[in-house]
Structure formats: structure tokens, C-alpha cells
Chain A
Amino acid sequence: MLANIHLPASAAEAAGLLEGGGWLLGGGTLVMPRVNTGAVPVDTLISLRAAGLDGVRVADGLAEVGAAVTLARLGEHEELAFLRPVVRSIASPPVRNLATVGGNLFATQPHGDLAVALLALGARVDVLSTGGARTIDVGEAVAHNEVVTTVHFGLPKVWRYRKAMRRKHNSASIVTVAAALVVTGGVVEQATIALGGVASTPVRANAAEQALIGRPLDLAAAEAAAAAAHEGTAPFDDAYASAWYRARVLPVHVRRALLGED
């Protein structure tokens, strides 16, 4: 049973309140379904809605996004248009009006497609506790007393994203592929590929990256990367797809993502 809902006016105030226990609340799309069951083991929510974490800044090829920025606002940002397909692949427009960038980092697979994209972007995450601030890689563990405040990433040179779903909209991931590439003179110089839907957390496809680097971004290289993509994955069964199916279609979606195929 809830006894308190706090609306701190800053991240520091939120971190102070968090020392006393409770759950952080971004847009509520992950926390409130549990609260609404009436059986949560928590009596305090700390909402980040008024904590001043809603800024987006893009300058010199770098983006700085506040943890409480909604997915809807992220998807509307002109200079982050490359993320629009990612945003539009997540839930429905009304849910995206609530769901936040920071919250997506805590969505469990096969949800959390923005977290997959941020892993491919090599994003860094600022967290704050009463003990101080630190910056971690996206995907690294956040302690119970830490508040995610900002996510930073560089704008990709070449961006690829693909999410296989049961339906065109508002469905969890069967396989999600996000890739940030640097292609110089027709040759892949750098590749960061992240996968969703195929492990308990978003995972980097290191073997697929290695298969791609130093080669032209063509069918042969994409197929080599696709063939290597299963390394490090641990697909699971759920209501959306079986582990077998996920493993079976993973290379297909990696290839299609890399080549920008429909």
C-alpha cells in the first residue's frame, strides 16, 4: 500500500529521498502496472516529473538527454530524427507520452528497445546518489540508491535499426537490431551492433561487428555478420516467440538491418 508520493524539484533532492527507500517513478509505465495490483512491496514513490531532468541538447555531434524526457519528445526532436524509428517501434503513442528515456533502461527484455539503441550508440549514463555523481556505460548496473539523470551519446555516422514484432505497432521485440557504423571510402571502419529480444538484457554482437569491420558494407559482409550474430545471445521463450524462432530469424534481421532492406 502506498503511503507517500514525493515530487522532488531536483535530482539531488530525489537522491536524498531515495536513501529512505522507495521506488523512482519516471513516466509510470513500468512502475504503475505493479502499483495498480495493490500488492507492491513498496510504500513510497519518488516521481522525477518535476526534477528538472527533461532537457534535450544536441551540439557538436553529441546529444545529452535528460532521464525524464518522454519517448514522445525524444521522437519529435529534429536533430535526433534517426531515433524516430526506434521510438515509433516502442509501445503506443499514449504510452510514449508518459514513458521516459531513463525508464527504458530498466525495461526488461523483450521490452527496452531504446536501451538496445543506446547500447549500439555507446551511450554513457550519468547517475547521482547522496555519495556523489558518476558516469557509467549504458547497460552497467545502477545501484538502488542512484538516480539516472542524463544519457549522452554521439550522433552516428551511419545508423541502422530494425525491430521484428508480431504486429506492426505496439508489440514487444522478437529480435531488435541496432547498429552504428562508420563507413569510410566504402569500407566499414567501425561497427557497434546491439541486439534485443535475444537475451535477458540488450547485448553487443561483438563477433558480428568483427565480421563487418574492414569490409565493404555489402551482401557478403552483411551475411558474414549475420552468421556470427548468435554469439553471446541466449534467446528465450515467451508469449511473443519461442527461443528457437528468435535464434532462427536473428541472422535474417541482422542482414536486413545492415543492408537497410525492408
Chain B
Amino acid sequence: MASKIVTLRVNDREEEFLARPGTTLLGALRDTLGLTAAKRGCAQGACGSCNVLVDGKPVPSCLVPVETVDGAAVATLEGVAPTGDLDEVQAAFLEDFATQCGFCTPGMIMTAEALLAENPDPTRAEVVEAISGNVCRCTGYEPIVNAILDAASRRRSA
């Protein structure tokens, strides 16, 4: 059992910590770094509630042994609005009733952030495909899809 030193750039901050073998990126974020926005849902990569961005790409962080992404840049929901002012995606989720219990919301928002960074003007079908790996048991998805489209238009006109 050899723990290893792992270095990550998390939300533009250098972090260095010890990780036991088998520690997932999700586990390191939540339990070592105290960043609890990403949620442990299924632990199988099927629900999207743990999605964070690794080098700009959304991935289920429960499927990533943290040692294998040593040196990567990681973005979590905590980094989206560091000053407390909501960004366009968060504001749209709030105002368009796209969040109810909130458990899926961090993963949904990070997946949406990745989509909009790559495609600032997505079609409804593209939004649906982008969040096809994010499970929400409350909203029925329509308000979430609407919020992401709304966020895209807010960001384009900002």
C-alpha cells in the first residue's frame, strides 16, 4: 500500500496531497480537498452527478483513479463562481427552475459549462445529447434543457 503524492491544479489553485491507491478523483476532491459540490451518486459513471472537467473535458470523476491524472487541471462547481456572483449557467438554472433537490445540479452545470465552452450556440438536440449521461430524478429534464439554452443566449448577449 504505497500512497503517492498527487499534484492537481484545481479551480486555478495548485493542490498537492497524498492519495492511497484506488482513491478516485471524486474521493480526492471531496474527502481530501473538501470540495463537496461533485456528488457520489452511482459510482459507476452512469449518473453524471460527479462530473467535473479534467483539462477542460467533462468526465465522471468516480471513474478516474486520481494518480492517473497527476498534473491535470480540474474544474469543479466551486470554481465557477468564486466570488459568489452566479455565472450565466447557474443564474439560468436558478431562475428557470432547473434544480429541485439539487443532487444532480453540480454535475449538470459542469457538463453544461463544458458544452457552452465548446459550442456557445447549441441546438436543443445538442443540449440533450450533452447531458444524456446526467440523471435527474426531479425535474423531468425539460427545465434543465431550457436553462442551458437560456444560459447560452445570456452568455452570447453578455
Residue contact B60 to A7, C-beta cutoff 8 Å:
no
Q: What residues of chain B lie closer than 8 Å to A29, measured between beta carbons?
A: 45, 63
Known: A5-B21, A36-B43, A170-B132. Is A94-B48 also a contact (CB below 8 A)? yes
Known: A29-B63, A36-B43, A170-B133. Is A93-B128 also a contact (CB below 8 A)? no
Q: Does A3 contact B (CB under 8 A)?
A: yes
Q: What residues of chain A lie closer than 8 Å to B21, measured between beta carbons?
A: 2-5, 45
Known: A91-B133, A92-B132, A169-B129. Is A5-B67 also a contact (CB below 8 A)? yes
Q: What residues of chain A lie closer than 8 Å to B73, measured between beta carbons?
A: none
Residue contact B133 to A32, C-beta cutoff 8 Å:
no
Measured in the bound complex, the distance between the Cα atoms of B21 and A141 in whole Å is 30
- Nearest-neighbour CB distance to chain B for A198, whole angstroms, equals 23
Q: Does A27 contact B (CB under 8 A)?
A: yes
Q: What residues of chain B lie closer than 8 Å to A32, measured between beta carbons?
A: 24, 44-45, 62-65
Known: A2-B22, A5-B21, A33-B45. Is A93-B129 also a contact (CB below 8 A)? yes
Known: A33-B43, A92-B48, A93-B58. Is A47-B132 also a contact (CB below 8 A)? no
Measured in the bound complex, the distance between the Cα atoms of B62 and A92 in whole Å is 15
Measured in the bound complex, the distance between the Cα atoms of B126 and A88 in whole Å is 12
Q: What residues of chain A lie closer than 8 Å to B24, measured between beta carbons?
A: 32, 36
Residue contact B43 to A5, C-beta cutoff 8 Å:
no
- Nearest-neighbour CB distance to chain A for B103, whole angstroms, equals 17
Contact with A along B1-31 (1 / 0, CB 8 A): 1101000000000000000011010000000
Q: Does B59 contact A (CB under 8 A)?
A: yes
Scoring B64, B68, B130, B134 by chain A CB atoms within 10 A of each residue's CB, the highest score goes to B68
Contact with B along A91-109 (1 / 0, CB 8 A): 1111101100000000000
Within B117-158, the residues touching A (CB, 8 Å) are 128-130, 132-134
Within A157-208, the residues touching B (CB, 8 Å) are 167-170
In which size bucket is the chain B interface? 20 to 34
Measured in the bound complex, the distance between the Cα atoms of B58 and A210 in whole Å is 44
Known: A2-B21, A32-B65, A36-B44. Is A97-B57 also a contact (CB below 8 A)? yes
Residue contact B60 to A95, C-beta cutoff 8 Å:
yes
In which size bucket is the chain A interface? 20 to 34
Contact with B along A1-26 (1 / 0, CB 8 A): 11111010000000000000000010
Task: Report the nearest A residue to B131, measured CB to CB.
Answer: A92
Residue contact A25 to B128, C-beta cutoff 8 Å:
no
Among B62, B67, B130, B132, the residue within 8 A (CB) of A7 is B67
Q: Does B76 contact A (CB under 8 A)?
A: no
- Nearest-neighbour CB distance to chain B for A143, whole angstroms, equals 24
Q: Does B51 contact A (CB under 8 A)?
A: yes
Among A2, A3, A28, A169, the residue within 8 A (CB) of B132 is A169
Q: A3-B21, A35-B65, A47-B68 are in contact. List 20 more A-B contacts (CB 8 A).
A: A4-B21, A5-B65, A5-B68, A7-B70, A28-B45, A29-B45, A32-B24, A33-B45, A33-B63, A36-B43, A36-B62, A37-B43, A45-B65, A91-B133, A93-B132, A94-B59, A95-B45, A95-B63, A97-B59, A98-B63
Residues of A within 8 A of B (CB): 1-5, 7, 25, 27-29, 32-33, 35-37, 45, 47, 49-50, 72, 88, 91-95, 97-98, 167-170
A-B contact pairs, 26 of them (CB 8 A): A2-B21, A4-B2, A5-B4, A5-B22, A5-B65, A5-B67, A7-B68, A7-B70, A28-B64, A29-B45, A32-B24, A32-B65, A33-B63, A36-B43, A45-B65, A47-B67, A91-B133, A94-B48, A94-B57, A94-B60, A94-B111, A97-B57, A98-B45, A98-B60, A168-B128, A170-B133
Residues of B within 8 A of A (CB): 1-2, 4, 21-22, 24, 43-45, 48, 51, 54, 57-60, 62-65, 67-70, 111, 128-130, 132-134
